[in-house]
Amino acid sequence: MPFPQLNRHKIKFNPLSQREDRVFIERDHISPDAEPKPFDQPEQQIVEETVARILSARGAGASRMLVFGAHAIKNGLAPVIAALIEEGWITHLATNGAGIIHDWEFAYQGSSSEHVQANIEEGQFGVWEETGYYLNLAINVGAWAGLGYGESVGSLVEKEGLEIPSEETLRTDISHVKENPEQSAAAADLLHIIRTFELDPGWMKVPHPYKQFGLQAAAYRLDIPYTGHPMFGQDIIYLHPMNHGASIGRAAQRDFLTFAHDIAELEGGVYLSVGSAVMSPMIFEKSLSMARNLAIQDGKTIENHFMLVADLAKSSWDWNQGEPPEASADYYLRFNKTFSRMGGTMRYLAADNRDFLLHLIGALRRA
């Protein structure tokens, strides 16, 4: 017998404009030309080594991937990261579900980052209409249209709207279940959503007055993969009844396989993991295992890759020696331990993500 479930349709959602936010993108964004805090010589050497590796990887046509946690977006670094892809230094961006949300909220209303403790006491944390409605709708439509998670949101921001398909179009897709069962299922899901929310077919205009700060929009415009790697239930969009698990799964699966494809091109490449203690190392190790499985079958290898891990946590262990013993506190820096097992060359930099990324782009421009 199925267990009882909470009815999201009964939740009272408030307009996003009523939320008190802490970060305002016009005021708080970081320019790519901003001066970072000085690094000591050991940290500066790591930056210089990273720059040399990126230059080599670009010359070889290998992947240069930047994978980051949501705080990189909350810290106003979207303009810096956008410059890294615009100037050709980075070929793939990836983040978690929260990174997707903060970036969208900045583009949509210019602010993000609510007061969690105060709002959760009122049953209001994450219960905001536009964030739940538009992000889920973009993913629902994108899942049917063959887009990934981040690409669906990037399209919404860049185009400032969504094309809602007609019921006739969706019924046609559904009728082709034998030829294309996956597309038929996606069409059936979207048809259910359109009927539930009484959506009219055609263009739905959704203005994004702060689009110039939208990193997903920049990636979509430049045709650079910006993959989203969510965990079900972790993000505020799951509170809204527009949320649909099958759409999340379809779009996120596409992004994971896109991510894995670029990991397969990492021989001679660079992987930058910035402020992501769980998501980045976890998807990296699974993707690398798949990529190596295929490479070995073709008589190839993926060993000459460079991994730079940047986070705030201090580490006294020399990770060039492999992982530390279990008696060491550094053993429990999971992200370092994981990357130290991945072959190639790993470096760890204990630094604020703002300072690292500003040092990086500055050094790349001078190279």
Task: Output the pLDDT for position 325.
Answer: 86
Burial class (CB in 10 A: 0-12, 13-18, 19+), 8: middle
- pLDDT tens digits for 169-216? 999 999 999 999 999 999 999 999 999 999 999 999 999 999 999 999
Which residue type does 214 have?
Answer: G
* Average pLDDT across the chain, whole number: 96
Given its phi and psi angles, is residue 113 left (phi above 0), alpha (psi -120 to 50 degrees) or beta? left
- What DSSP string describes 9-51? GGS--B-GGGS-EEEEHHHH---TTPPPPPPPHHHHHHHHHHH
Element (H, E) at 102: helix 97-109
33-90 residue pLDDT tens: 999 999 999 999 999 999 999 999 999 999 999 999 999 999 999 999 999 999 999 9
Who contacts 149 (Cβ-Cβ below 8 Å, separation ≥6)? Answer: 100, 139, 142, 227, 228, 229, 230, 248, 251, 252, 254, 255
Q: Give whole-number Cα distances, 189 to 143, 144, 251, 253, in Å.
A: 10, 8, 13, 17
Q: What is the pLDDT of residue 23?
A: 96
Quote the CA–CA distance of 188 and 196 in Å, as a whole number: 12
> Which residue pairs from 43-50 have beta carbons closer than 8 angstroms and sit at least 24 positions apart in sequence?
43/349, 43/351, 44/359, 46/308, 46/347, 46/349, 47/349, 47/356, 47/359, 47/360, 47/363, 48/363, 49/306, 49/347, 50/270, 50/272, 50/306, 50/308, 50/347, 50/360
- pTM attached to this predicted model: 0.96
Find where tokens 């008696």 sit.
327
> Do 224 and 93 meet the contact criterion of CB atoms below 8 Å apart?
yes
Q: How much is the pLDDT for 59?
A: 97
Q: What kind and span of H or E run contains 326?
A: none
Task: Please indicate whether residue 99 or residue 333 has the higher confidence score (pLDDT).
Answer: 99
- What pLDDT, in 10s, does the model give residues 243-280? 999 999 999 999 999 999 999 999 999 999 999 989 99
Where do the domains of the chain lie?
21-165+201-366
CA–CA separation, 141 vs 225, rounded Å?
A: 18
**The predicted structure's pLDDT at residue 328:** 85
CA distance 132 to 138: 10
**Structural contact between residues 150 and 98, judged by C-beta atoms closer than 8 angstroms:** no
DSSP E strands, 141-294:
161-164, 202-205, 226-228, 270-274
Q: Which CATH number describes the domain made up of 21-165+201-366?
A: 3.40.50.10690
Q: How confident is the model at residue 163 (pLDDT cuts 50, 70, 90)?
A: very high
**pLDDT above 90 for 101:** yes
Task: Using pLDDT thresholds of 50, 70 and 90, give the confidence band for residue 329.
Answer: confident
Q: Please, are residues 156 and 101 in contact by the beta-carbon 8 Å criterion?
A: no
